[in-house]
Structure formats: structure tokens, C-alpha cells
Amino acid sequence: MNATVKSLILTALVLSVMMTACDTSAKRYERAHTLYEEGTELRSQRLSEEAAEKFLQALELLDKDETDPRTLLLEGQLKDNLGAMYNKHGLFEDALAMHREAIACFRSVNDTTEIMTAMRNCGRVAKSMEQYTDAKRYYDTAFSMATLINDEAMQNDLYLEMGRDYYLPVGNFPKAIDCVTRAMEGGLEGNDLDIAQMTLGVLYYYTDDYETAKTHLNEALRSERAGVRMSVYQTLYAIAYNEGNYQQATDYQDQFTQSLLQVEKEHDSENMQRLKAEYELKAQKSEMELLLRNRSLKLWLIIAAAVIMILFITMMVRKKVSDHKIAVAQFQSQVERDQNRIHELVSDMETLIRTNDDLRRDRQTLSQKDLLMTSKIMGRNKIYATAQGLGDQVTADTMSFALSDADWADFISLTDLVYDGFSQRLLELYPRLSKWDVRICCLSKNGFSNQVISILLDTQTDSYYKRKTRIKQMKMDLGEDTRTFEEIVNAV
């Protein structure tokens, strides 16, 4: 009887320890949902770094293998919000991955509205990466869903974004004007209306209808967003310059520069990078703590099972002393073998973890060495160094440069060295390219932005866009190719 009481007490103690050690999924969900609501409120106040930290904390609390619909829905909402902020701060690959994971969560719970929103967000990221064909595909999918559920507000947003993010970059200006006009007719308000006015102004400028363009651009200047005003002033500058009004063009250029400086302050991504790194470290730490907790729990269960079995055997074979001794010896031997096996498994797991960490560090070291070698090779060239300076900050000092044919020849030679004879392969494919065409292709291959290249060529950004189009259509004979100029160059 005493043995039975002892076994019950031990069982109760083991169960108590197990219940204390476990944190329920329901409690973690409630804390995660509270953090999500706090994050959305911070995001509405345009405090993106603080909001991202709340979303990351909430994501850590959710079970990775949870199949509960409300948990999956919350996980999708958290990842979709994080993707939008990663895109805002230039982390495009991470943003696209977050939106795709969000879509998988929303599909698991069959939430059409959330899938539609995440698809639109994927289109925005693809546009930021200049993958215009993918952007159009995402927008079309979202538009079909909006039409299916009769969401007119989303349809208006998508008309605006398709006109601005797809038809404008690919040069289909009439279709772009039609889409943006439909969006405005649908009742856009606030910042969306300002963006639509700005976009129409740019489109009419490209079609050489300057008066209509100025009407829409002046309407867009009421925007409180520095980025919108910057684009408006850039286009107004081009119109004034083309009309020969150089004094007004100079004024617009000054206003463009002021807006550009304000935009750079608003889009500092250092905090977002820090939060992302902290999240990865916390996630790794959380996985290790969970692994250790599971090991400890398994050990307690093995010990409890061993104690209960020993007590049970003792009660059953008390009258058979000799058989009891043999059974106890066999049991103890089995327990020792099990413990040895457990230690071996733990040791193997730790070895695998260390090996994985070593491999990851080796890959990071190799990647850093490749980047450093490329920087050392190209950094000694005047054109490359000048372009890098323009990419860091456009100032009076960085704008003061003079480039000779020898500098260009050295730049193309170094580009061939880094990219395995790029210019020769380019001319073999497209022999009609001129000397300056090859220089433009080499600048694009090195990853410099449209603004930096247009400054190096001493031309306007819109003129550079037109020149890229002429090269693609007339020199490369790729008028029907849906790829962008940059995609064609990087494929060589």
C-alpha cells in the first residue's frame, strides 16, 4: 500500500512539473495579437521601426507548426505588414519572401481579401526590383480577386498602381493614362490622389503635352510627401528646360534638391536592418531554448517512467527474491543503455549544429572576399569611383568631374576583367552598338542607378530613359522583348 501511495505522489509531481514548464498556445496567441494591434497603430502613425519591432516580437510568439485558422491568419497579417516595411526600406528580397509566406498562410484559411492585398504588395516589391512582368502578373491576380468580391476601392488602387508601376516603365503611355484616369474617376483621395496627379503629369510630359502635364503637376504639389514633390519638381524642371525658361528650371532644380535631401532622411534603413538582425538572432536563440526544454522534458519523463516501473516490479515480485534481483539487474542495464544512447544522440545533434554554423561562416567569408576583390579591382578606376560618389550623395563636389576616353577605356577593361569579357560578348551579340552604347551597358552591368548614369552622361533622366529604349529597339533589335534594358544587359 505504501508503495502505491509513493508511486501516485511521484506521478503527480511529474505532471505538475510538466504543466508548469509548458506555455499554452492560447496565451502566446493573445500576447501576439496584442503586439500586432500595437504595431498597426504605430504603423498608422508612420513609426515604421517601432511597428516592425512589435510585429517581429509577435511573430516569435507564434507556434511554427500551428494549424489553428486564427493563428495562421495572424501569422499572415504579421508577415504581410513586415514585407511592406522591408520594401519601404529597400530590403526587396526579404520583402518578397515575407509577402509570399503571408499568401501561403491566407490560402490555408481561404481568406480572399487578405490574399488579394498580399498579391498587390508582391506587385509593389516586383516593381521596386524592376521586374515589371512579374509586377503585372501580381497586379492582374489581385485585380481579378477585387472584381470577384466587388471591392471598388481596391480596383481603384490597382488601376493607379498598374498605370504607374507597369505601363509607365515599359513605355505604354496611352494605357498608363487610361488606368490612372480610371483610378481618379473611382474617387481617389488624399495621398493617392496626389500620386495620381503626379503620375498623369509625368505621362503627359512623355507625350509632349506640356500644358496638360503642368496642370496635373501643380495639383500634385499640394502633397505633404517629400517624395511626391521631388518627382513633381524633377518633371517641372524638364518641362521648363525644354521650353527654354532656364531661370524657372533653375528654381525647380533647387526645390528638387531640397526635396531629395528630405526623402533621404525619411528613408534611412539602418534601424530596419538592425531589427531584422536582432529578429534572426532571437529566433535562433528561441529554437535552442525550445530544444533544451524538450530534452529536459524527455529526461524527466524517462526518469518518471523508470521510477514507476521499478515500484511496480517491486510490488509484483516481492515474494520471489531471486527472480526480483535478476529482473532489477536487467532493467538497470537497459536504463544505462538508453541513457548512453540519449547522450550519443545529444552529442550528434551538437556536432551537427556546430558543423552547420561553420559552413554558414565559411559561405559568408567567401562572399565577403568576392565583394572585396571586385571593389579593389573596380575602385581604382576614375569612372567607377565617380559613380560611387554620385550614388552616395549628389553634391557640388561630386558633380565636378571630367572623364577622358582613357578613363572610359580603363573602365571597360576592368569591367571585362570582373565579368569575364563582358564587352566582347556584348558586341558579339549586338554588333550595331556604338562606343557610347557599350559604355552605357557597362555602367548598367556594374549596377549603377538611372540617375547616376544620366549624370555621368551629362543628360536628363528622361532623356536617358529614351536612349535606353532606342538602344533596345534599334541597336539590339529587341523591340518585342518584354524584358527591361537592365535585364537584357545582366543576361549577357
Q: In terms of domains, do 224 and 369 share one?
A: no
- Whether 409 maps to a domain, the answer reads yes
Q: In terms of domains, do 174 and 44 share one?
A: yes
- pLDDT score of 374: 65
Say if pTM beats, i.e. exceeds, 0.85.
no
Q: In terms of domains, do 115 and 190 share one?
A: yes
Q: In terms of domains, do 308 and 232 share one?
A: no
Statement: residue 122 has pLDDT above 80: yes
Q: In terms of domains, do 111 and 238 share one?
A: yes
Q: In terms of domains, do 229 and 351 share one?
A: no
| C-alpha cell of residue 155 | 480596383
Distance CA 213, CA 50 (A): 39
Q: Report yes or no: 437 and 431 within 8 Å, Cβ to Cβ.
A: no
284 CB-near residues (< 8 Å, 6+ apart): none
Statement: residue 274 has pLDDT above 60: no
- Reported confidence tier of residue 327, pLDDT bands at 50, 70, 90: confident
Provide φ and ψ at 110, rounded to 5°: 60, 45
- Reported confidence tier of residue 21, pLDDT bands at 50, 70, 90: very low
Domain end call among 326, 353, 373: 373
- Whether 245 maps to a domain, the answer reads yes
- Reported confidence tier of residue 140, pLDDT bands at 50, 70, 90: very high
* Integer-rounded Cα radius of gyration of the chain: 32
- CB contact burial 367-386 (16+ within 10 A = b; e otherwise): eeeeeeeeeeebeebbbbeb
Q: In terms of domains, do 453 and 406 share one?
A: yes
The CA-atom distances, in angstroms, between 215 and each of 201, 228, 238 are: 7, 15, 15
270 CB-near residues (< 8 Å, 6+ apart): none
Q: In terms of domains, do 117 and 179 share one?
A: yes
- Reported confidence tier of residue 423, pLDDT bands at 50, 70, 90: very high
- pLDDT score of 367: 47
- pLDDT score of 337: 86
Statement: residue 260 has pLDDT above 70: yes
- Reported confidence tier of residue 15, pLDDT bands at 50, 70, 90: low
- Whether 62 maps to a domain, the answer reads yes
CATH code at position 56:
1.25.40.10
- pLDDT score of 311: 77
- Reported confidence tier of residue 306, pLDDT bands at 50, 70, 90: confident
Stretch 146-173: mean pLDDT:
90
Greater confidence, 473 or 313?
Answer: 473
245 CB-near residues (< 8 Å, 6+ apart): none
Distance CA 418, CA 337 (A): 59
- pLDDT score of 102: 93
Look up residue 473 and give its DSSP letter: I
- Whether 9 maps to a domain, the answer reads no
- CB contact burial 102-127 (16+ within 10 A = b; e otherwise): bbebbeebebeebbbbbbbbbbbbbb
Q: In terms of domains, do 59 and 169 share one?
A: yes
Greater confidence, 194 or 346?
Answer: 194
Q: Give, for 282, the enclosing helix (H) or strand (E).
A: helix 270-316
Provide φ and ψ at 434, rounded to 5°: -85, 175
Statement: residue 202 has pLDDT above 80: yes
468 CB-near residues (< 8 Å, 6+ apart): 440, 485
Residue bearing cell 495562421: 72
- Whether 285 maps to a domain, the answer reads no
Residue bearing cell 547616376: 452
| C-alpha cell of residue 276 | 531584422
Distance CA 53, CA 87 (A): 16
Stretch 405-411: mean pLDDT:
93
DSSP secondary structure letters along 147-200: HHTT-HHHHHHHHHHHIIIIIHHHT-HHHHHHHHHHHHHTT--HHHHHHHHHHH
Greater confidence, 377 or 404?
Answer: 404
Stretch 25-32: mean pLDDT:
87
- pLDDT score of 273: 54
Domain end call among 322, 349, 373: 373
Q: In terms of domains, do 393 and 300 share one?
A: no
Q: Report yes or no: 55 and 81 within 8 Å, Cβ to Cβ.
A: yes
- pLDDT score of 366: 44
Range scoring the smallest mean pLDDT among 26-40, 282-296, 299-313, 431-445: 282-296
- 449: Cα separation from own chain's centroid: 19
Distance CA 445, CA 66 (A): 45
- Reported confidence tier of residue 385, pLDDT bands at 50, 70, 90: confident
Angle at 487 between CA 485 and CA 490, to 5 degrees: 110
Stretch 465-483: mean pLDDT:
92
Distance CA 223, CA 455 (A): 27
Look up residue 6 and give its DSSP letter: H
- pLDDT score of 360: 58
Q: In terms of domains, do 133 and 250 share one?
A: yes
- pLDDT score of 118: 94
Total domains present in the chain: 3
Q: In terms of domains, do 78 and 179 share one?
A: yes
- pLDDT score of 25: 78
- Whether 1 maps to a domain, the answer reads no
Statement: residue 444 has pLDDT above 80: yes
Statement: residue 18 has pLDDT above 60: no
Domain end call among 352, 373, 394: 373
Domain limits for position 34: 22-271
- Whether 283 maps to a domain, the answer reads no
- Whether 6 maps to a domain, the answer reads no
Distance CA 157, CA 425 (A): 43
- pLDDT score of 120: 93
430 CB-near residues (< 8 Å, 6+ apart): 475, 476
Greater confidence, 280 or 469?
Answer: 469
Distance CA 100, CA 115 (A): 10
